[in-house]
Amino acid sequence: MPWYPEGNPMADARKGAASPTAEELDPCDVVRSILGRVGDKWSAVVMDELAAGPRRFNELRRLVSPITQRVLTSTLRALEGDGLVTRTVHPTIPPQVEYALTDSGRALHAIIKNVAAWTDAYLGTVHAARSARKDSAG
Amino acid sequence: MPWYPEGNPMADARKGAASPTAEELDPCDVVRSILGRVGDKWSAVVMDELAAGPRRFNELRRLVSPITQRVLTSTLRALEGDGLVTRTVHPTIPPQVEYALTDSGRALHAIIKNVAAWTDAYLGTVHAARSARKDSAG
DNA sequence: CAGGATCCGTGGGGATACTG
DNA sequence: CAGTATCCCCACGGATCCTG
């Protein structure tokens, strides 16, 4: 039994098109959006850094290296929007904002680590396949 | 210890920019590319269908519903290029092509199912976070 | 049946400048 | 410090037509 819709997977789940009442919301769409989230360019890296403990914005910016400030912001907003990270503002001067993983974020991060383990196990297979592809392509 | 590079994650790993000699290839880049793969719009769905058994092209096309032929082709090529699925051509008339998961593909699919399980467990959390976001936005 | 070739719109993401 | 605002590029994905 598939976890994705028969007719229109994902659709505009990330835009919240029809705003269903949570119980009507298809888990399939959520799975797809979550896969898309951890599959985007930086979310997984950010989560992995946050797994070590709460971090501040520019701290993350440095840890996640060549990420742009604009992209880091939108990445964090997206993660926050799915309840994977929390954003805590300390009203000091200068402002201090701390980002941290939630329980769900931590659980999802564990799965990401499984992908890392998978890569460790199948690195040879992947590389062989890529080489073969390169081989037949010229 | 992070599974991604400090300086330049992903980079152009998917293009095979410098064609490293397999041992020099950073596993980190591979993790990112794999996450990107299962995070794209259709790969996970295709793999889930293939998990039930080998399928032919147009068979998949119907199962994965509104996917375009062009996109299904490129998705399958990408999966094949990473050694996640095999493509077997039977020289009949009309031509018959069968796609199937490899061992690594099956293992990766298992992880994807974990994400589905995660979603099942945290669906409420995710929805609550999304509602809250919607709440403060509108 | 299983694609290849072509055209095109959308938006993810990079660079840069500015602000409370 | 922690963002917001703008501009821009191009890869992803959709639509359509054509073929061995």
| Closest approach of A22 to chain B, Cα-based (Å) | 6
Q: Which nucleotides of D are covered by protein (CB under 7 A)?
A: 1-6, 12-17, 20
Point out the residue among A42, A80, A119 whose CB comes nearest to the CB of B34: A119
pLDDT of residue A6: 45
Q: Which whole-number Å values give the CA distances from B19 to A133, A137, B23, B78, B111, in the listed order?
A: 12, 13, 11, 17, 28
Label residue A45 left, alpha or beta by phi (over 0 means left) and psi (-120 to 50 means alpha): alpha
> Which amino acid appears at position A70 of this protein?
R
Residue A22 has pLDDT above 50, yes or no: no
Residue B8 has pLDDT above 90, yes or no: no
Measure, in angstroms, how far nucleotide C3 C1' is from residue A34 CA: 31
Q: Which of residues 72-131 of A touch B (CB under 8 A)?
A: 80-84, 102-104, 107-108, 111-116, 118-131
Residue A111 has pLDDT above 50, yes or no: yes
Measure the CA–CA gap between B30 and B24, rounded to whole angstroms. Answer: 12
pLDDT of residue B25: 65
Q: Do residue B128 and residue A83 have CB atoms under 8 angstroms apart? A: yes
